[in-house]
Structure 1
Amino acid sequence: MISVVILVVSTQLLPAQGFHAVVDHDDIGVGTRSLEVDLSLDLSRVVREVDERFLSVAIDASLVAEEKLMYLLGSPKLRTLAKALAPSYLRFGGTMQDFMVFSSEKFFTQSHEDSCEKMELPPLLEERLKKQWTRQQVLLQKEDLQMKYRRVKFTEYSVDLLTSFANCTEMDLIFGLNALLRTSDNIWNSSNARSLIKYCESKQYRISWELGNEPNSYEKKAGIRVSGSQLGEDFVHLREILRESKLYHNRGLYGPDISQPRDHRKDLLQGFLSTGSQAINACTWHHYYVNGREATLADFISPEVLDSLGVKISEVLESVQLMSPGMRSWLGESSSAYGGGAEGLSDAFVAGFMWLDKLGLAAKMGLDVVIRQVLIGSGTYHLVDDNLDPLPDYWLSLLYKRLVGPEVLMVNTLPVAGLQNQRKKVRVYLHCADRNRGYSKGAITLMAMNLGARPSRLTLPAQLSLGTVEGFVLQSDQPDEAGLYSRSVMLNEKLLQMLDDHTLPELKGNILPPADHLLLPGFSLAFFVFTEAQAAACQ
């Protein structure tokens, strides 16, 4: 018998603080003994198919709070990183979008669709802006804690810079409009949006649209309450405006970008769909697992916490299909922890378990798109750090983009007597491999993660044990508990980092010989591409 990956990580965790998940110590100190897990899969049929832009990203609207900071979108490094994640949607939105007002300065601007190199930010200016952005984030976090938000204006320059970024990175821009501009009758005042749309049309900018961010929180943030049915009518009004435009009459409109629907939020969603479902192309909602100000390390590797997403997806899909059968559902904003993320966790290696599991489960259950909060913006759940260098979740996202196709296949781990709790720490998802990256028809990609310290032995069915496999195993660059907090990651034991501002490293898999099992190291994330699987569903 040939072992496919032979790598053991011995990790000890300290007890978690707080009242959330607690670290399970059952697998601590087990030496080289691995957990046996059998895989059951079906390669005969596709159970779901998601949008090719399934993994998408957001730029947080907080970047425009100081308009000159939008010039960071001209960073060659940031553009290189973003373009590697295409095709994807690029959402520009978040809390700040409902406090943004377009103010036309009526000066001459140029369309930047074909001038990517000219729009690159000079190195000295980039360094200066990064320092200013670091200071700006402190102010934004204070505003968020106090729930006191100031109105900010943005001009044509912000729109030009944003559309240039989207065009040069080959992403499809979704712009979030301000829904808190309202009349005395509490009806959306569309005059400011009309001005913005008119300007974008004059420049022939290819944009889709949203209206409002988390309307269920308007009362807390702005002292305004908007019913679901009224919000739906506001969307119908926006759709009518778009239909008047030759450029935007068929462009996408997405909403209502509600927080996880429960209690009155569920009523708001249903009310919105009752009046506004015909106006939108997909129903969007937001999901975070835990409160970033209370989250613990144990939450990030808890099977129970990860399983909670499935419950929320089921609830939303049930409501959407009840009110609007056939309507597509998106996670319009999503990450690990709300409130700006969990400091020291949401930007660390451990966050990858929540991220990869969310991608796998969302696709499996029928969500078409997941928009990651955030590529760049305020908080600690971003994909790049304050120096615009990629964090672990960026590398995980990049591998997903290169290895995973839109077709979802069925795979399960089979129960092992006496080890049910341990088995939950190994989570697997299966897709056809991405043919656009050169994989042949019939190739499949197995995503696997090990939430525990004990290595796991994944037994393969006979049909997969005869061919070669490409293995991509992500681990922290540090051992033991410190590794879960690390902001660096290794691919097949090689540290991942950019070669320069324009060049990403080669993401090369290990060619593994035929075997009847795979060995998944403790606390690891992995992609295994079975290039010779000849899956009927992927032909």
Structure 2
Amino acid sequence: MNFLLLLSLISLRTHGTRTGPDGGWALEPDQNLVQDQVTDPDLVLEPDLSAVLRRVDPRFLSVTIDASLAAEESFMALLSSSKVRTLSSALSPSFLRFGGTRQDFMKFKPHRRKRNLKNTKNTGESCQQLLPWWVEDQLKKNWTLQQQILIKEDLKRKFKKTSFTEVTVDLLNSFSSCCGFDLIFGLNALLRTSENVWNSSNAETLIEYCRSRRYQMNWELGNEPNSFEKKAGIRVDGHQLGLDFLHLRELMSRSGFYRDAGLFGPDVGQPRDHRTDILEGFLQTGAEAVDAVTWHHYYVNGRATSLEDFLDPEVLDTLTLKTNEVMEKVKLLSPTKPVWLGETSSAYGGGAVGLSDTFVAGFMWLDKLGLGATLGLDVVMRQVLVGSGSYHLLDENLDPLPDYWLSLLYKRLVGPEVLKVRKRSSSAQSKRVRTYLHCSNEKSYSRGSVTLISMNLNQNSFRISVPSLLSSSSLDAFILQSDQLNSRSVKLNGRLLQMLDDETLPDLRGTRLPPSDHLQLPGFSLNFFVFLDVQAAACL
């Protein structure tokens, strides 16, 4: 009895593809389950369990809320939804970045009404003040209309200047505090003087308000400065941007309360043309101001992509090229600084409708987590948790999409210690199988266990051989599949994942299997295998 038992447990093996009832791609169930055969494996894994390759931040998988949610401030109340808070809390520990294109078109405009200045961070009262269901329903209906307005702005690249009040700041603080997130607030960098120097007066007002409320916050300045000229007709070079960050760090120090708070930047777009020059100039003048260097990455254009792109290993491999370009710049000019993906998802331009919000997007997302950790990224911030575009983790009804469940399993199963694993194969299809290895999350499994992350981009099943270090161990298997690649639903070991109610997540336990020399990956599957009895030296 070996790992192939899993196929009978979930009663599904991918044999091919067919067209689903709504025209989507569907997986073809094959009732003739595979039997254990003496054949050469498609792929042989050679892991090194003796030492940690590198460690990522415990908040490695982090999330964002796009500033567009506050373009009409009433929508910020969605962060008080019971469902949103339940789903978000399950993703902690995490950074929560509030920013994006519209942060550079927003100003803080306080109401200056009398307020209770007690520290709300540690009071249970604010965490219990949840959104009434009838208000939530109306906001969700209105958000559909708001999305259309935002999309038109994006297409025309004409962004309306807006303001936000204490309401946005209070809700962000309450949400992040109650959910166990570390908040990063993005400041407007397009407020500039006639000499093209950052005008910090509005930021000073905001920082003073947050200090008076004793809100635990971190800060950023500007979003994708490489596109300022296209968006606003203003060009800011990297040298000046670095000086602006030094000025912000000085303001934080003067406040006293934020002296030791985090400052991250410059949030440049992925390397292309002059964008590397902006990063280089910034590092030369402003590197000492920041605690981590941030950049953004998307694989494809959301308005000109296809399902095949989401399953193309060559598209996935572009992350390596872009990451190495950034890492080389940072290592040369500021070698001690961590490097983060400060904003990332599958497709830019708000995502690819019908793809970025479906099961197939998980191949890009899981590979980015595995490959990013291996390449040296310390934090990866997913655009977005809720709200903007079609790359969200929670849909318009605030229900979890496939990438949410994938993120939740990653959080529960994968530890921060990255392990080295080599692969040998003579199969041409092996390049469509991606594998990464970590120590397991110690909150879920005992020390010494390891978690193998794997995905099969082939439509047919794929066989992996594991060495005796792993094959002698029992394991928990977590197999994610969907009936259609462009479906908004996902199954874990054959069971549909959905909330039991607004405050209750489903059982996410894996299927316990006995030791085996081989793993069989179903076609088009996303997988986590936790080897329980390994006692890996690197994880002890």
Pick from 52, 61, 77: which aligns with 1:55? Answer: 61
Following the alignment from structure 1 to structure 2, what is the Cα–Cα distance between the partners of residues 112 and 121? Answer: 18
Following the alignment from structure 2 to structure 1, what is the Cα–Cα distance between the partners of residues 248 and 151? Answer: 31
Deviation at 1:36, TM superposition (A): 1.6
Which residue does the alignment assign to 1:528? 529
Which residue does the alignment assign to 1:10? 15
Following the alignment from structure 2 to structure 1, what is the Cα–Cα distance between the partners of residues 343 and 323? Answer: 14
Say which SS state the counterpart of residue 484 (structure 1) adopts: coil
1:374 and 1:381 in contact (8 A); partners too: yes
Pick from 266, 277, 282: which aligns with 1:272? Answer: 282
Matches within 5 A, 1:438-477: 439-476=445-482
Deviation at 1:327, TM superposition (A): 1.1
2:316 and 2:364 in contact (8 A); partners too: yes
1:224-274 deviations in Å (ceiling 9; x for gaps): 000000000000000000000121001000000000022200001000000
Following the alignment from structure 1 to structure 2, what is the Cα–Cα distance between the partners of residues 355 and 51? Answer: 18
Following the alignment from structure 2 to structure 1, what is the Cα–Cα distance between the partners of residues 317 and 396? Answer: 32
Pick from 435, 439, 443: which aligns with 1:436? Answer: 443
Say which SS state the counterpart of residue 150 (structure 1) adopts: coil
Say which SS state the counterpart of residue 488 (structure 2) adopts: coil
Matched, 1:415 2:425: yes
The aligned amino acid for 2:221 is L
The aligned amino acid for 1:434 is N
CA RMSD of aligned residues (A): 1.7
Which residue does the alignment assign to 2:29? none
The aligned amino acid for 1:518 is L
Say which SS state the counterpart of residue 533 (structure 2) adopts: coil
Deviation at 1:446, TM superposition (A): 0.3
Deviation at 1:129, TM superposition (A): 0.6
Matched, 1:359 2:369: yes
Deviation at 1:38, TM superposition (A): 1.0
Which residue does the alignment assign to 2:254? 244
The aligned amino acid for 2:173 is T
Matches within 5 A, 1:7-46: 7-12=12-17, 36-46=42-52
Say which SS state the counterpart of residue 436 (structure 1) adopts: coil
Deviation at 1:104, TM superposition (A): 1.0
The aligned amino acid for 1:43 is L
The aligned amino acid for 1:2 is N
Matched, 1:321 2:322: no
Say which SS state the counterpart of residue 12 (structure 1) adopts: strand
Deviation at 1:117, TM superposition (A): 4.1
The aligned amino acid for 1:90 is L
The aligned amino acid for 1:493 is G
Matches within 5 A, 1:16-165: 36-110=42-116, 112-113=120-121, 114=123, 115-165=125-175
The aligned amino acid for 1:12 is T
Greater alpha carbon shift after TM alignment, 159-168 vs 34-43: 34-43
Following the alignment from structure 1 to structure 2, what is the Cα–Cα distance between the partners of residues 283 and 37? Answer: 36
Matches within 5 A, 1:336-375: 336-375=346-385
2:457 and 2:525 in contact (8 A); partners too: yes
Say which SS state the counterpart of residue 325 (structure 1) adopts: coil
Pick from 225, 238, 244: which aligns with 1:228? Answer: 238
The aligned amino acid for 1:285 is W
Which residue does the alignment assign to 1:515? 516
2:457 and 2:523 in contact (8 A); partners too: yes
Following the alignment from structure 1 to structure 2, what is the Cα–Cα distance between the partners of residues 13 and 311? Answer: 35
Following the alignment from structure 2 to structure 1, what is the Cα–Cα distance between the partners of residues 180 and 472? Answer: 39
2:3 and 2:513 in contact (8 A); partners too: no
Following the alignment from structure 1 to structure 2, what is the Cα–Cα distance between the partners of residues 359 and 194? Answer: 36
Deviation at 1:413, TM superposition (A): 2.1
1:112 and 1:160 in contact (8 A); partners too: no
Following the alignment from structure 2 to structure 1, what is the Cα–Cα distance between the partners of residues 336 and 127? Answer: 43
Say which SS state the counterpart of residue 255 (structure 2) adopts: coil
2:296 and 2:341 in contact (8 A); partners too: yes
Deviation at 1:210, TM superposition (A): 0.2
1:9 and 1:522 in contact (8 A); partners too: yes
Following the alignment from structure 1 to structure 2, what is the Cα–Cα distance between the partners of residues 533 and 231? Answer: 49
Following the alignment from structure 1 to structure 2, what is the Cα–Cα distance between the partners of residues 280 and 116? Answer: 31
Pick from 184, 197, 200: which aligns with 2:194? Answer: 184
2:387 and 2:396 in contact (8 A); partners too: no
Following the alignment from structure 1 to structure 2, what is the Cα–Cα distance between the partners of residues 145 and 385? Answer: 22
With the length of structure 2 as denominator, give the TM-score of the two structures: 0.94
Following the alignment from structure 2 to structure 1, what is the Cα–Cα distance between the partners of residues 33 and 67? Answer: 48
Deviation at 1:74, TM superposition (A): 0.4
Following the alignment from structure 2 to structure 1, what is the Cα–Cα distance between the partners of residues 33 and 504? Answer: 40
Following the alignment from structure 1 to structure 2, what is the Cα–Cα distance between the partners of residues 536 and 118? Answer: 44
Deviation at 1:441, TM superposition (A): 1.3
1:328-360 deviations in Å (ceiling 9; x for gaps): 100000000000000100000000000000000
Following the alignment from structure 1 to structure 2, what is the Cα–Cα distance between the partners of residues 246 and 71? Answer: 30
Which residue does the alignment assign to 1:489? 490
Following the alignment from structure 1 to structure 2, what is the Cα–Cα distance between the partners of residues 329 and 102? Answer: 29
Greater alpha carbon shift after TM alignment, 321-330 vs 382-391: 321-330
The aligned amino acid for 1:336 is S
1:439-458 deviations in Å (ceiling 9; x for gaps): 11110000000001110111
- Structure 2 gaps of 5+ residues are 20-24, 26-31
2:43 and 2:423 in contact (8 A); partners too: yes
Deviation at 1:10, TM superposition (A): 2.3
Following the alignment from structure 2 to structure 1, what is the Cα–Cα distance between the partners of residues 214 and 282? Answer: 31
Following the alignment from structure 1 to structure 2, what is the Cα–Cα distance between the partners of residues 363 and 31? Answer: 35
Residues 533 and 302 (structure 1 numbering): CA distance in 2 closer, same or farther, change over 3 Å?
same
Which residue does the alignment assign to 1:288? 298
Following the alignment from structure 1 to structure 2, what is the Cα–Cα distance between the partners of residues 31 and 424? Answer: 25
Matched, 1:255 2:261: no
Greater alpha carbon shift after TM alignment, 463-472 vs 354-363: 463-472
Which residue does the alignment assign to 2:539? 538
Say which SS state the counterpart of residue 454 (structure 2) adopts: strand
Aligned identity (percent) is 60
For these two proteins, the number of residue pairs brought into alignment is: 517
Matched, 1:312 2:291: no
Following the alignment from structure 2 to structure 1, what is the Cα–Cα distance between the partners of residues 321 and 96? Answer: 27
The aligned amino acid for 1:64 is A
Which residue does the alignment assign to 2:432? 425
Deviation at 1:2, TM superposition (A): 2.3
